[in-house]
Structure formats: structure tokens, C-alpha cells
Amino acid sequence: MKRLFLNKGRYHGETLDIANYLREFHEAALNRGWVAAHFGTIGGFQLHGYARIPPSPTRAIYISTGIHGDEPAGPVALRRLVEEDQWPADASLYICPCINPTGLAANTRENNRGIDLNRDYRHIQSDEVRAHAAWLDTLPRFDLSLILHEDWEAEGYYVYEVNLDQGPAPGACILQAVREVAPIQPTSKIDDAWDCIDGLIHPNIPPEERPLWAEALYLLVNKTRLSLTLEAPSDYPLELRVEAHVRAIRAALA
């Protein structure tokens, strides 16, 4: 688990050929029975969400990634999970691999108009988020939402867990599974705001007091009561971060 020390001032690690990625993801998903919903076209790239609904589902789970263009591990991890094709038989699944193709093409956090899409869900300015939110609004509520990100400054993996009903939540199990393959963020302050204890953060600011909404806040207001945002440390090799996210999702679904 060797830190690379490449990330000076921003992410400088491996990147993704996003056109190729989107093509491969789409083909892999359709071949395994996912139903695709085309919800937008951005810079010539097609945006899709995918659904997979078993005969008698007892829960609904949402997984998304690819909203920050300098965070390739989430999209690669989600493609790997789709290729592995091992999903719980009792869950309806809704997944979104990428809503920021122009950012991934340029290895920038923001889209090609300089908008941070993950701050755009309250007063929507971007075509990407408008299209994504419209697709989300067609879906049922989720019992669990999982969002894959990366942090270029982090020393280890960490999780934001918002659990509005205080029921069982998978944050601690996720970190236990990740610990085998990746370092966990030491106890610290994240972004000078959040107490991160053993890799787990419980943010507690009401959405109406936040001027800008991330995707997770949009989901907490409109679609779910349990939202986890998973952050891989992107100053480590891509394969380690992908494996950490894959294990995290498997643990959360189990």
C-alpha cells in the first residue's frame, strides 16, 4: 500500500479513456440484462442510467459515480461489478456510471464549462445535472444510496454516512472490508469541517442550510433516508482504489 506522492495541488494519477469506457460499460450492462435509460447527450457523449429489477424485490439500491472528472476509480469499479454480475437477488438496482464525460475526458473535477456538478443540485445550472435529476425523478425511492468518489488529498479511504432513520447502516462494514486492501483515513478533520473517526464521518447539517447541494443531498431530500458517499484516496495506484471501491460495494450490498 504505497502512497505515490504524485498529487501536488490536484490529481495527477492514471486517467480513463472515457469514450471507450462508456461504450464498454453500455455493452457489458446490456449483455447482462440491465435496461438502459438514455437521459442526455453531453459533448457528443451519451449519458445512461441502468436498471435491473428482479421478480420480487424487497429493497431498492442506487449506485452512482463519475460526477467528478478527476476521479476515475469509481467508474472503473462500477464496470467491474457489472462484469462480475454478482448482485443480491432481492434488490432492485439503479446505477449511473458517469454524468461528467467532458470532465473525465479532460481529467478535471468540473465539466467543460467549469461547473462542479456535485455542487449543482439545488439551483441547477448544468445540462448534466438537469438531465440526471430528471431521470432520478422517474425512479422509485431507494432504501440505500451509494456514491463513489475519490479525494486527491486523503491519506486513506473514508465514508460519509447520513442515516436519517438511525437504522442499521453499512458504513462500519464497508470500512472493515476496505481495510484489507487499502489504508483507512486516520482520525482527522476532513475539509476543515467534518470529524472523521476510524474512516467514518456523520455530517449533520440540514439541507436547507446548505447553499449548494451535492448529489447526496438531492437524494436525501427527494429519494432516500440512507446515503453513503465513499471516498478513495487517489494518491494510491488506480488498481488499489478500484479494488477498495469494489469491496466496499460488495460489503454494502451483503
Which residue ranges make up the site for Zn ion (CB under 5 A)? 68, 71, 149
Give the Cα separation of 39 and 27 in Å (integer). 17
Q: Which helix (H) or strand (E) holds 84?
A: helix 73-84
In order, the DSSP letters of 50-68 are EEE--SS-SEEEEEE---S
Strands 91-96, 59-64: pairing is parallel
Q: Which residue has the cell 467508474?
A: 75
Give the Cα separation of 16 and 14 in Å (integer). 7
For 124, the grid coordinates are 441547477
147 forms beta bridges with: 64, 229
Q: Which helix (H) or strand (E) holds 215?
A: helix 215-222
231 forms beta bridges with: 149, 158
Q: Which helix (H) or strand (E) holds 226?
A: strand 226-233
Give the Cα separation of 41 and 230 in Å (integer). 27
Q: Residue 20's CB: how many other CB atoms inside 10 A?
A: 9
